[in-house]
Amino acid sequence: MLLDKIKKDLLQLRNPERAKNLSWFFKTDKGQYGEGDVFLGIQVPIQRKVANRYIDLSLTDLQELLSSKIHEYRLTALLILVSKYEKADSLGKKDIFDFYLKNTENINNWDLVDLSAPRIIGDYVYNKDISILFKLAKSNNLWERRIAVLSTFYFIRNSDFDAAISIAELLLYDEHDLIHKAVGWLLREIGKRDQEIEEQFVREYCLQMPRTMLRYAIEKFDEKRRNSI
Protein backbone atom coordinates (compact mmCIF):
# COMPACT_ATOMS: atom_id res chain seq x y z
CA MET A 1 0.00 0.00 0.00
CA LEU A 2 1.51 3.32 -1.13
CA LEU A 3 0.43 5.20 1.97
CA ASP A 4 2.22 2.79 4.29
CA LYS A 5 5.32 2.87 2.09
CA ILE A 6 5.64 6.65 2.03
CA LYS A 7 5.22 6.84 5.81
CA LYS A 8 7.90 4.18 6.23
CA ASP A 9 10.25 5.99 3.84
CA LEU A 10 9.87 9.27 5.69
CA LEU A 11 10.28 7.70 9.12
CA GLN A 12 13.51 6.04 7.99
CA LEU A 13 14.85 9.47 6.98
CA ARG A 14 14.30 11.07 10.37
CA ASN A 15 17.09 13.10 11.93
CA PRO A 16 16.44 13.68 15.66
CA GLU A 17 19.02 16.45 16.06
CA ARG A 18 17.70 18.38 13.08
CA ALA A 19 14.14 17.74 14.29
CA LYS A 20 14.97 19.43 17.58
CA ASN A 21 16.32 22.49 15.75
CA LEU A 22 13.30 22.66 13.44
CA SER A 23 10.90 22.44 16.37
CA TRP A 24 12.55 25.55 17.79
CA PHE A 25 12.72 27.35 14.43
CA PHE A 26 9.06 26.73 13.60
CA LYS A 27 7.86 27.79 17.07
CA THR A 28 6.22 24.59 18.31
CA ASP A 29 6.11 25.38 22.03
CA LYS A 30 2.83 25.96 23.85
CA GLY A 31 1.21 29.22 22.81
CA GLN A 32 3.43 29.65 19.74
CA TYR A 33 2.12 29.62 16.18
CA GLY A 34 3.40 26.08 15.49
CA GLU A 35 2.21 24.56 18.75
CA GLY A 36 1.85 20.78 18.49
CA ASP A 37 3.78 20.43 15.23
CA VAL A 38 6.01 17.33 15.27
CA PHE A 39 9.17 17.22 13.16
CA LEU A 40 11.16 14.29 11.81
CA GLY A 41 14.03 16.53 10.76
CA ILE A 42 14.02 15.84 6.99
CA GLN A 43 15.35 18.49 4.60
CA VAL A 44 12.96 19.79 1.94
CA PRO A 45 15.04 18.61 -1.09
CA ILE A 46 14.90 15.08 0.32
CA GLN A 47 11.15 15.35 0.81
CA ARG A 48 10.85 16.44 -2.82
CA LYS A 49 12.62 13.26 -3.91
CA VAL A 50 10.22 11.18 -1.82
CA ALA A 51 7.24 13.10 -3.20
CA ASN A 52 8.36 12.41 -6.77
CA ARG A 53 8.20 8.67 -6.08
CA TYR A 54 4.64 8.84 -4.78
CA ILE A 55 2.88 11.09 -7.29
CA ASP A 56 0.16 8.42 -7.68
CA LEU A 57 -1.07 8.75 -4.11
CA SER A 58 -4.82 9.34 -4.07
CA LEU A 59 -6.46 12.38 -2.51
CA THR A 60 -7.77 10.02 0.18
CA ASP A 61 -4.21 9.01 1.08
CA LEU A 62 -3.03 12.61 0.91
CA GLN A 63 -5.84 13.53 3.27
CA GLU A 64 -4.45 11.10 5.84
CA LEU A 65 -0.98 12.58 5.51
CA LEU A 66 -2.33 16.12 5.79
CA SER A 67 -4.26 15.17 8.93
CA SER A 68 -1.07 14.06 10.68
CA LYS A 69 0.73 16.09 13.35
CA ILE A 70 4.00 15.14 11.64
CA HIS A 71 5.16 18.17 9.71
CA GLU A 72 7.02 16.23 7.01
CA TYR A 73 3.95 14.10 6.28
CA ARG A 74 1.96 17.26 5.62
CA LEU A 75 4.67 18.99 3.60
CA THR A 76 5.38 15.93 1.46
CA ALA A 77 1.65 15.57 0.85
CA LEU A 78 1.52 19.18 -0.34
CA LEU A 79 4.52 18.70 -2.62
CA ILE A 80 2.72 15.72 -4.17
CA LEU A 81 -0.46 17.78 -4.44
CA VAL A 82 1.37 20.54 -6.33
CA SER A 83 2.79 17.99 -8.78
CA LYS A 84 -0.62 16.38 -9.27
CA TYR A 85 -2.16 19.81 -9.84
CA GLU A 86 0.40 20.76 -12.47
CA LYS A 87 -0.26 17.54 -14.40
CA ALA A 88 -4.06 17.63 -14.06
CA ASP A 89 -6.67 18.67 -16.60
CA SER A 90 -9.12 21.47 -15.79
CA LEU A 91 -11.49 19.20 -13.83
CA GLY A 92 -8.60 17.68 -11.92
CA LYS A 93 -7.27 21.13 -11.05
CA LYS A 94 -10.69 22.11 -9.71
CA ASP A 95 -10.81 18.99 -7.52
CA ILE A 96 -7.35 19.76 -6.10
CA PHE A 97 -8.23 23.42 -5.58
CA ASP A 98 -11.33 22.41 -3.60
CA PHE A 99 -9.37 19.77 -1.68
CA TYR A 100 -6.75 22.35 -0.72
CA LEU A 101 -9.34 24.81 0.58
CA LYS A 102 -10.95 22.07 2.67
CA ASN A 103 -7.57 21.44 4.29
CA THR A 104 -6.47 24.92 5.28
CA GLU A 105 -6.57 23.90 8.95
CA ASN A 106 -3.86 21.34 8.11
CA ILE A 107 -1.74 23.76 6.03
CA ASN A 108 -0.69 25.36 9.25
CA ASN A 109 2.88 26.55 9.14
CA TRP A 110 4.52 29.13 6.93
CA ASP A 111 6.60 26.74 4.82
CA LEU A 112 3.54 24.61 4.09
CA VAL A 113 1.72 27.69 2.81
CA ASP A 114 4.63 29.22 0.94
CA LEU A 115 5.52 26.08 -1.03
CA SER A 116 1.96 25.35 -2.13
CA ALA A 117 -0.42 28.33 -2.16
CA PRO A 118 0.99 30.22 -5.17
CA ARG A 119 1.16 27.08 -7.30
CA ILE A 120 -2.36 25.83 -6.51
CA ILE A 121 -4.62 28.63 -5.26
CA GLY A 122 -2.80 31.42 -7.10
CA ASP A 123 -2.63 29.52 -10.35
CA TYR A 124 -6.25 28.39 -10.19
CA VAL A 125 -7.86 31.77 -9.53
CA TYR A 126 -5.63 33.75 -11.89
CA ASN A 127 -7.86 35.36 -14.54
CA LYS A 128 -10.91 34.02 -12.66
CA ASP A 129 -13.04 35.14 -9.73
CA ILE A 130 -10.58 36.08 -6.97
CA SER A 131 -13.15 36.69 -4.23
CA ILE A 132 -11.82 33.63 -2.37
CA LEU A 133 -8.55 35.51 -1.79
CA PHE A 134 -10.36 38.33 0.00
CA LYS A 135 -12.40 35.83 2.01
CA LEU A 136 -9.19 34.15 3.12
CA ALA A 137 -7.52 37.50 3.85
CA LYS A 138 -10.36 38.37 6.24
CA SER A 139 -10.21 35.02 8.04
CA ASN A 140 -9.48 34.72 11.75
CA ASN A 141 -7.12 31.89 10.81
CA LEU A 142 -3.53 33.12 10.48
CA TRP A 143 -2.67 30.52 7.84
CA GLU A 144 -5.67 31.36 5.65
CA ARG A 145 -4.56 34.99 5.69
CA ARG A 146 -1.04 33.94 4.69
CA ILE A 147 -2.50 31.73 1.92
CA ALA A 148 -4.26 34.84 0.57
CA VAL A 149 -0.98 36.78 0.51
CA LEU A 150 1.15 34.02 -0.98
CA SER A 151 -1.43 33.15 -3.63
CA THR A 152 -0.95 36.59 -5.15
CA PHE A 153 2.69 35.76 -5.83
CA TYR A 154 1.47 33.85 -8.87
CA PHE A 155 -0.11 37.09 -10.11
CA ILE A 156 3.02 39.09 -9.33
CA ARG A 157 5.18 36.67 -11.31
CA ASN A 158 2.89 37.41 -14.24
CA SER A 159 3.33 41.18 -13.68
CA ASP A 160 -0.26 41.53 -12.51
CA PHE A 161 -0.16 43.57 -9.29
CA ASP A 162 -3.74 44.72 -8.62
CA ALA A 163 -4.83 41.77 -6.48
CA ALA A 164 -1.58 41.81 -4.50
CA ILE A 165 -1.88 45.53 -3.77
CA SER A 166 -5.49 45.09 -2.65
CA ILE A 167 -4.56 42.22 -0.31
CA ALA A 168 -1.64 44.26 1.05
CA GLU A 169 -3.99 47.16 1.82
CA LEU A 170 -6.46 44.82 3.49
CA LEU A 171 -3.79 43.32 5.75
CA LEU A 172 -1.93 46.53 6.51
CA TYR A 173 -3.08 46.49 10.13
CA ASP A 174 -2.84 42.76 10.74
CA GLU A 175 -1.49 41.96 14.21
CA HIS A 176 0.69 38.94 13.36
CA ASP A 177 4.37 39.20 12.53
CA LEU A 178 4.12 36.39 9.96
CA ILE A 179 1.63 38.48 7.99
CA HIS A 180 3.84 41.58 8.32
CA LYS A 181 6.72 39.59 6.82
CA ALA A 182 4.56 38.09 4.06
CA VAL A 183 3.13 41.44 2.96
CA GLY A 184 6.57 43.05 3.06
CA TRP A 185 7.87 40.20 0.91
CA LEU A 186 4.91 40.67 -1.46
CA LEU A 187 5.78 44.35 -1.89
CA ARG A 188 9.45 43.55 -2.43
CA GLU A 189 8.51 41.07 -5.17
CA ILE A 190 6.40 43.74 -6.88
CA GLY A 191 9.35 46.10 -6.66
CA LYS A 192 11.57 43.64 -8.53
CA ARG A 193 9.24 44.07 -11.49
CA ASP A 194 7.95 47.61 -11.04
CA GLN A 195 9.75 49.81 -8.51
CA GLU A 196 7.41 52.72 -9.08
CA ILE A 197 4.32 50.77 -7.98
CA GLU A 198 6.04 49.45 -4.88
CA GLU A 199 7.49 52.83 -3.94
CA GLN A 200 4.13 54.53 -4.40
CA PHE A 201 2.53 52.05 -1.99
CA VAL A 202 5.34 52.36 0.56
CA ARG A 203 5.27 56.17 0.52
CA GLU A 204 1.50 56.20 0.94
CA TYR A 205 1.42 53.78 3.87
CA CYS A 206 4.88 53.90 5.46
CA LEU A 207 3.64 55.65 8.60
CA GLN A 208 0.94 53.01 9.16
CA MET A 209 2.95 49.93 8.17
CA PRO A 210 4.37 47.73 10.93
CA ARG A 211 8.15 48.13 11.07
CA THR A 212 8.76 44.52 10.02
CA MET A 213 6.57 44.93 6.95
CA LEU A 214 8.34 48.14 5.98
CA ARG A 215 11.78 46.63 6.54
CA TYR A 216 11.03 43.68 4.27
CA ALA A 217 9.43 45.92 1.64
CA ILE A 218 12.38 48.30 1.28
CA GLU A 219 15.12 45.71 1.72
CA LYS A 220 16.23 46.07 -1.92
CA PHE A 221 16.00 49.87 -2.01
CA ASP A 222 19.30 51.65 -2.43
CA GLU A 223 20.45 53.80 0.49
CA LYS A 224 19.17 57.05 -1.02
CA ARG A 225 15.66 55.65 -1.57
CA ARG A 226 15.54 54.06 1.89
CA ASN A 227 16.55 57.32 3.56
CA SER A 228 13.89 59.23 1.64
CA ILE A 229 11.04 57.08 3.01
pLDDT at 227: 77
pLDDT for 146-173, tens place per residue?
999 999 999 999 999 999 999 999 999 9
Domains and CATH numbers, the chain: 1-89 (1.25.10.90), 116-229 (1.25.10.90)
CB atoms within 10 A of CB 208: 10
pLDDT for 73-124, tens place per residue?
999 999 999 999 999 999 999 999 999 999 999 999 999 999 999 999 999 9
State pTM to two decimals: 0.95
Contacts of 175 (CB under 8 A, 6+ apart): none
